Chains A and B, each alone.
Chain A
Amino acid sequence: DAGITQSPRHKVTETGTPVTLRCHQTENHRYMYWYRQDPGHGLRLIHYSYGVKDTDKGEVSDGYSVSRSKTEDFLLTLESATSSQTSVYFCAIRDRGWDTGELFFGEGSRLTVL
Protein backbone atom coordinates (compact mmCIF):
# COMPACT_ATOMS: atom_id res chain seq x y z
CA ASP A 1 0.00 0.00 0.00
CA ALA A 2 1.16 3.49 -0.83
CA GLY A 3 2.09 5.53 2.22
CA ILE A 4 -0.58 8.18 2.19
CA THR A 5 -2.56 9.30 5.20
CA GLN A 6 -5.22 11.91 5.69
CA SER A 7 -6.13 13.72 8.88
CA PRO A 8 -8.53 14.18 10.40
CA ARG A 9 -10.62 11.29 9.09
CA HIS A 10 -13.82 12.78 10.46
CA LYS A 11 -14.65 16.32 11.44
CA VAL A 12 -17.81 18.17 12.37
CA THR A 13 -17.61 21.93 12.43
CA GLU A 14 -19.83 24.98 12.31
CA THR A 15 -20.43 27.38 9.46
CA GLY A 16 -17.85 30.13 9.35
CA THR A 17 -15.05 28.28 11.11
CA PRO A 18 -11.72 27.55 9.44
CA VAL A 19 -10.82 23.96 8.69
CA THR A 20 -7.56 22.41 7.55
CA LEU A 21 -7.22 18.90 6.18
CA ARG A 22 -3.82 17.34 5.91
CA CYS A 23 -2.49 14.84 3.40
CA HIS A 24 0.80 13.22 4.26
CA GLN A 25 2.78 10.89 1.98
CA THR A 26 5.92 8.87 2.50
CA GLU A 27 6.41 7.98 -1.19
CA ASN A 28 8.25 11.15 -2.25
CA HIS A 29 5.76 11.51 -5.12
CA ARG A 30 5.81 14.83 -6.89
CA TYR A 31 2.12 15.20 -7.68
CA MET A 32 -0.58 15.56 -5.04
CA TYR A 33 -4.29 16.20 -5.51
CA TRP A 34 -7.32 17.11 -3.42
CA TYR A 35 -10.72 15.85 -4.57
CA ARG A 36 -14.17 16.03 -3.11
CA GLN A 37 -16.78 13.30 -3.50
CA ASP A 38 -20.49 14.06 -3.36
CA PRO A 39 -23.54 11.92 -4.15
CA GLY A 40 -24.46 12.07 -7.82
CA HIS A 41 -21.10 13.48 -8.81
CA GLY A 42 -17.86 11.89 -9.75
CA LEU A 43 -14.78 12.89 -7.83
CA ARG A 44 -14.05 16.54 -8.55
CA LEU A 45 -10.65 18.18 -8.41
CA ILE A 46 -10.25 21.03 -5.95
CA HIS A 47 -6.54 21.84 -6.20
CA TYR A 48 -3.39 20.02 -7.12
CA SER A 49 0.33 20.40 -6.64
CA TYR A 50 3.18 19.51 -8.96
CA GLY A 51 5.95 20.27 -6.51
CA VAL A 52 6.87 22.18 -3.38
CA LYS A 53 5.19 25.58 -3.49
CA ASP A 54 3.75 24.78 -6.94
CA THR A 55 -0.02 24.50 -6.91
CA ASP A 56 -2.89 25.06 -9.31
CA LYS A 57 -6.66 25.25 -9.18
CA GLY A 58 -9.04 22.50 -10.13
CA GLU A 59 -12.65 22.68 -11.27
CA VAL A 60 -14.18 23.39 -7.82
CA SER A 61 -11.55 25.56 -6.12
CA ASP A 62 -13.76 28.41 -4.89
CA GLY A 63 -13.68 28.61 -1.09
CA TYR A 64 -10.56 26.45 -0.79
CA SER A 65 -6.86 27.17 -0.57
CA VAL A 66 -3.87 24.84 -0.44
CA SER A 67 -0.27 24.89 0.60
CA ARG A 68 2.67 22.61 0.04
CA SER A 69 5.79 23.65 1.90
CA LYS A 70 7.26 20.13 1.97
CA THR A 71 7.14 17.29 -0.53
CA GLU A 72 5.31 15.06 1.92
CA ASP A 73 2.52 17.38 3.05
CA PHE A 74 -0.35 18.94 1.10
CA LEU A 75 -2.79 20.98 3.16
CA LEU A 76 -6.32 21.91 2.15
CA THR A 77 -7.85 24.87 3.98
CA LEU A 78 -11.41 26.06 4.11
CA GLU A 79 -11.03 29.63 5.37
CA SER A 80 -14.67 29.91 6.38
CA ALA A 81 -16.54 26.65 6.06
CA THR A 82 -20.02 26.58 4.52
CA SER A 83 -22.63 23.84 4.48
CA SER A 84 -22.01 23.31 0.75
CA GLN A 85 -18.53 22.14 1.68
CA THR A 86 -19.93 19.16 3.58
CA SER A 87 -18.36 16.32 1.65
CA VAL A 88 -15.84 13.52 1.69
CA TYR A 89 -12.39 14.75 0.73
CA PHE A 90 -9.79 12.53 -0.86
CA CYS A 91 -6.12 13.16 -1.33
CA ALA A 92 -4.30 11.38 -4.15
CA ILE A 93 -0.68 11.13 -5.18
CA ARG A 94 1.23 9.99 -8.22
CA ASP A 95 4.88 9.99 -9.11
CA ARG A 96 4.46 11.42 -12.59
CA GLY A 97 2.17 13.89 -14.24
CA TRP A 98 -0.87 13.75 -16.44
CA ASP A 99 -1.38 10.66 -18.57
CA THR A 100 1.25 8.69 -16.73
CA GLY A 101 1.55 6.80 -13.51
CA GLU A 102 -0.83 5.10 -11.16
CA LEU A 103 -2.90 7.13 -8.72
CA PHE A 104 -2.85 6.32 -5.02
CA PHE A 105 -5.63 7.59 -2.79
CA GLY A 106 -5.88 8.32 0.89
CA GLU A 107 -8.70 6.90 3.01
CA GLY A 108 -10.77 10.05 2.83
CA SER A 109 -11.78 12.75 5.30
CA ARG A 110 -15.47 13.16 6.03
CA LEU A 111 -16.31 16.80 6.80
CA THR A 112 -19.68 17.92 8.06
CA VAL A 113 -20.39 21.65 8.26
CA LEU A 114 -23.43 22.46 10.38
Chain B
Amino acid sequence: KNEVEQSPQNLTAQEGEFITINCSYSVGISALHWLQQHPGGGIVSLFMLSSGKKKHGRLIATINIQEKHSSLHITASHPRDSAVYICAGEGNEKLTFGTGTRLTIIP
Protein backbone atom coordinates (compact mmCIF):
# COMPACT_ATOMS: atom_id res chain seq x y z
CA LYS B 1 0.00 0.00 0.00
CA ASN B 2 1.34 3.38 -1.00
CA GLU B 3 2.18 5.52 1.98
CA VAL B 4 0.85 8.59 0.17
CA GLU B 5 -2.68 8.61 -1.22
CA GLN B 6 -4.17 11.38 -3.32
CA SER B 7 -7.76 12.17 -4.15
CA PRO B 8 -9.39 12.63 -6.48
CA GLN B 9 -7.46 10.93 -9.28
CA ASN B 10 -9.13 13.13 -11.87
CA LEU B 11 -10.89 16.45 -11.47
CA THR B 12 -12.62 18.55 -14.10
CA ALA B 13 -13.94 22.00 -13.22
CA GLN B 14 -15.08 25.20 -14.85
CA GLU B 15 -12.84 28.23 -15.01
CA GLY B 16 -13.15 30.29 -11.86
CA GLU B 17 -14.02 27.44 -9.53
CA PHE B 18 -12.25 26.83 -6.22
CA ILE B 19 -10.23 23.62 -6.43
CA THR B 20 -9.17 21.29 -3.63
CA ILE B 21 -6.85 18.32 -4.02
CA ASN B 22 -6.24 16.08 -1.04
CA CYS B 23 -3.28 14.05 0.14
CA SER B 24 -3.23 11.60 3.04
CA TYR B 25 -0.02 10.09 4.29
CA SER B 26 1.23 7.55 6.77
CA VAL B 27 3.20 7.75 9.97
CA GLY B 28 6.84 8.73 9.63
CA ILE B 29 6.39 11.48 7.11
CA SER B 30 7.66 14.78 8.44
CA ALA B 31 7.38 17.04 5.41
CA LEU B 32 5.08 17.21 2.43
CA HIS B 33 5.82 18.42 -1.08
CA TRP B 34 3.34 19.57 -3.71
CA LEU B 35 4.50 19.37 -7.32
CA GLN B 36 2.95 20.35 -10.64
CA GLN B 37 3.49 18.45 -13.87
CA HIS B 38 2.29 20.02 -17.10
CA PRO B 39 1.56 18.19 -20.35
CA GLY B 40 4.96 17.83 -21.93
CA GLY B 41 6.22 16.45 -18.67
CA GLY B 42 8.28 18.99 -16.72
CA ILE B 43 7.84 18.87 -12.93
CA VAL B 44 7.85 22.01 -10.85
CA SER B 45 7.98 22.20 -7.08
CA LEU B 46 5.10 24.28 -5.70
CA PHE B 47 5.43 23.93 -1.94
CA MET B 48 7.29 22.11 0.77
CA LEU B 49 5.66 22.27 4.18
CA SER B 50 5.82 20.55 7.51
CA SER B 51 3.23 22.58 9.40
CA GLY B 52 0.52 25.18 8.92
CA LYS B 53 -0.16 26.83 5.62
CA LYS B 54 1.73 28.34 2.70
CA LYS B 55 0.43 30.60 -0.04
CA HIS B 56 1.82 31.55 -3.42
CA GLY B 57 -0.40 33.57 -5.68
CA ARG B 58 -3.64 31.64 -6.17
CA LEU B 59 -2.22 28.47 -4.67
CA ILE B 60 -2.58 27.57 -1.01
CA ALA B 61 -1.21 24.46 0.67
CA THR B 62 -2.21 23.34 4.14
CA ILE B 63 -1.10 20.47 6.31
CA ASN B 64 -2.64 18.93 9.42
CA ILE B 65 0.02 16.93 11.19
CA GLN B 66 -2.37 15.24 13.65
CA GLU B 67 -4.67 14.03 10.87
CA LYS B 68 -1.78 13.25 8.48
CA HIS B 69 -3.50 15.18 5.74
CA SER B 70 -2.58 17.94 3.36
CA SER B 71 -4.62 19.90 0.85
CA LEU B 72 -3.74 21.98 -2.16
CA HIS B 73 -6.23 24.71 -3.01
CA ILE B 74 -6.44 26.77 -6.18
CA THR B 75 -8.57 29.90 -6.10
CA ALA B 76 -10.10 31.41 -9.25
CA SER B 77 -8.96 28.47 -11.35
CA HIS B 78 -7.80 29.08 -14.90
CA PRO B 79 -7.26 26.75 -17.87
CA ARG B 80 -3.51 27.22 -17.48
CA ASP B 81 -3.83 25.46 -14.10
CA SER B 82 -4.61 22.26 -16.00
CA ALA B 83 -1.88 19.83 -15.01
CA VAL B 84 -1.15 16.82 -12.86
CA TYR B 85 -0.61 17.71 -9.21
CA ILE B 86 1.56 15.37 -7.20
CA CYS B 87 2.06 15.20 -3.46
CA ALA B 88 5.12 13.56 -1.98
CA GLY B 89 5.77 12.71 1.64
CA GLU B 90 9.26 12.90 3.03
CA GLY B 91 10.58 11.16 6.11
CA ASN B 92 13.04 8.54 7.28
CA GLU B 93 15.38 9.61 4.45
CA LYS B 94 12.81 8.67 1.87
CA LEU B 95 10.50 10.54 -0.47
CA THR B 96 7.27 8.75 -1.39
CA PHE B 97 5.21 10.13 -4.24
CA GLY B 98 1.49 9.91 -4.79
CA THR B 99 0.19 8.91 -8.20
CA GLY B 100 -1.09 12.39 -8.96
CA THR B 101 -4.36 14.22 -9.54
CA ARG B 102 -5.12 15.19 -13.12
CA LEU B 103 -6.83 18.59 -13.09
CA THR B 104 -8.62 19.93 -16.16
CA ILE B 105 -10.06 23.45 -16.10
CA ILE B 106 -12.60 24.13 -18.81
CA PRO B 107 -12.92 27.70 -20.12
Contact = CB atoms under 8 A, between A and B. Distances in A.
Q: Do A and B come from one complex?
A: yes
A105 B45 contact: yes
A105 B88 CA distance: 14
A104 B45 contact: yes
B66 to A, nearest CB: 19
B95 interface: yes
B97 A42 contact: yes
Contact of A42 (B2, B30, B41, B44): B2
Given A98-B93, A99-B90, A102-B48, A107 B100 contact: no
B42 interface: yes
A90 B43 contact: yes
B7 interface: no
Residue from B30, B35, B41, B98 having most chain A Cβ neighbours under 10 A:
B41
B91 A42 contact: no
B42 A107 contact: yes
B59 interface: no
Contacts of B103: none
B21 interface: no
Interface in A18-56: 40-45
A41 B2 CA distance: 9
Interface string A74-114: 00000000000000101010000111011111011010000
A99 B30 CA distance: 7
B41 A107 contact: yes
B45 A41 contact: no
Interface in B68-104: 86, 88, 90-91, 93-100
Contact of A43 (B30, B88, B91, B94): B88
Interface of A: 40-45, 88, 90, 92, 97-99, 101-105, 107-108, 110
Given A102-B45, A103-B35, A103-B45, 12 more contacts: A42-B86, A42-B96, A42-B99, A44-B97, A97-B93, A99-B31, A99-B90, A102-B48, A103-B33, A105-B35, A105-B45, A108-B41
**For the complex of A and B, 8 pairs with smallest distance between CB atoms:** A42-B97, A105-B43, A43-B97, A108-B41, A98-B93, A107-B42, A102-B45, A103-B45
